[in-house]
């Protein structure tokens, strides 16, 4: 499968715990995006990487959130001290550097904070 | 600021009916891109179409067609002869592809389409 993959697909955690999600983009794509989607809403932008550089962060990304893309390939999104309001679907998307600018999304990680 | 409005929260149709999903956008940019994505119950967003702001030509792909009108800032999506498999949430999105954000998508709230057999 050459699409975007995300792991885990589901995560249930207790409030206050730390969680980490992983995204593997399409291999030749140098641009990677994270979005968050809550029930009944469209996805909201969290952060953007071009290669290993994190170029943009939304104000939705509080200091409890951190994202990395250490070698310009896979990316991780960590949430520290989770809160119930963090419960959402976390989506990763990737995009190539050419003219076509559509983003291709992974299946998402659904986080439930109890 | 960029904004996408999908006023229709839910639409129900019977199979073989035609259905149009509305999308209205706001942007101050002269160059921008519009997208439609489909989100089936499995949850994965599936890319359907991209349209550049300087190309107002309508597009047809099988049962799908898109009507882009800059004069009304609309990018509507029509499914002809709907099928049960078309049941999903459909999102319209906008990006400006400039500056540091380089293509972040602004999504509408989505339209839940249910096609009954």
Q: What is the pLDDT of residues A23-58, one digit of tens each?
A: 999 998 989 999 999 999 999 999 999 999 998 888
pLDDT 10s per residue in chain B (117 long)? 789 999 999 999 999 999 999 999 999 888 889 999 999 988 899 999 988 888 888 888 899 999 999 999 999 999 999 999 999 999 999 997 665 556 889 999 999 999 999
**Closest Cα in chain B, distance from residue A100 (Å):** 9
Report the pLDDT value the prediction gives residue A86, as an integer from 0 to 100: 96
Mutate to test the interface with A, among B41, B92, B103, B112 (most CBs of A within 10 A): B103
Report the pLDDT value the prediction gives residue B7, as an integer from 0 to 100: 95
Among A42, A44, A105, the residue with its CB nearest the CB of B110 is A42
Query: Quick check: B102 and A31 CB within 8 A?
Result: yes
Mutate to test the interface with A, among B31, B102, B110 (most CBs of A within 10 A): B102
Nearest residue of B to residue A93, measured between CA atoms: B45
Report the pLDDT value the prediction gives residue B102, as an integer from 0 to 100: 67
Contacts of B62 (CB under 8 A, 6+ apart): none
B44 touches chain A (CB under 8 A): yes
Average pLDDT over residues A2-6: 91
Query: Quick check: B101 and A56 CB within 8 A?
Result: yes
Strand partners, B111: B90
**HSE of A102 in the Cβ direction (CA atoms, 13 Å)?**
15
CB B21 within 8 A of CB B90: yes
List, as one string, the DSSP characters of B73-107: TEEEEEESS--GGG-EEEEEEEE---TTT-S--EE
Q: A–B: how many Cβ contacts below 8 A?
A: 69
């Amino acid at each position: 499968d050459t699409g975007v993959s995300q792991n885990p697909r589901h995560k249930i955690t207790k409030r206050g715990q730390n969680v980490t999600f992983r995204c593997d983009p399409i291999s030749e794509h140098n641009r990677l995006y994270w979005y968050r989607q809550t029930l009944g809403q469209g996805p909201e932008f969290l952060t953007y990487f071009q290669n290993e550089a994190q170029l943009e962060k939304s104000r939705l990304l509080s200091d409890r959130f951190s994202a990395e893309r250490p070698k310009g390939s896979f990316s991780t999104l960590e949430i520290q001290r989770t809160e119930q309001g963090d419960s959402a679907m976390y989506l990763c998307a990737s995009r190539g550097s050419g003219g076509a600018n559509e983003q291709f999304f992974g299946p998402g990680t659904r986080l439930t904070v109890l | 600021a960029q904004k996408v409005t999908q006023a229709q929260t839910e639409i129900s149709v019977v199979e073989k009916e035609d259905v149009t999903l509305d999308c209205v956008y706001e942007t101050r940019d002269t160059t921008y891109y519009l997208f439609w994505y489909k989100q089936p119950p499995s949850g994965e967003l599936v890319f359907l179409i991209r349209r550049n702001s300087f190309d107002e030509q309508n597009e047809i792909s099988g049962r799908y067609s898109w009507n882009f009108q800059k004069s009304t800032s609309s990018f509507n999506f029509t499914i002809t002869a709907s099928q049960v498999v078309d049941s999903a949430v459909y999102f319209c999105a906008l990006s400006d592809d400039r500056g540091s954000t380089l293509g972040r998508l602004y999504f509408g709230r989505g339209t839940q389409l249910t096609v009954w057999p």
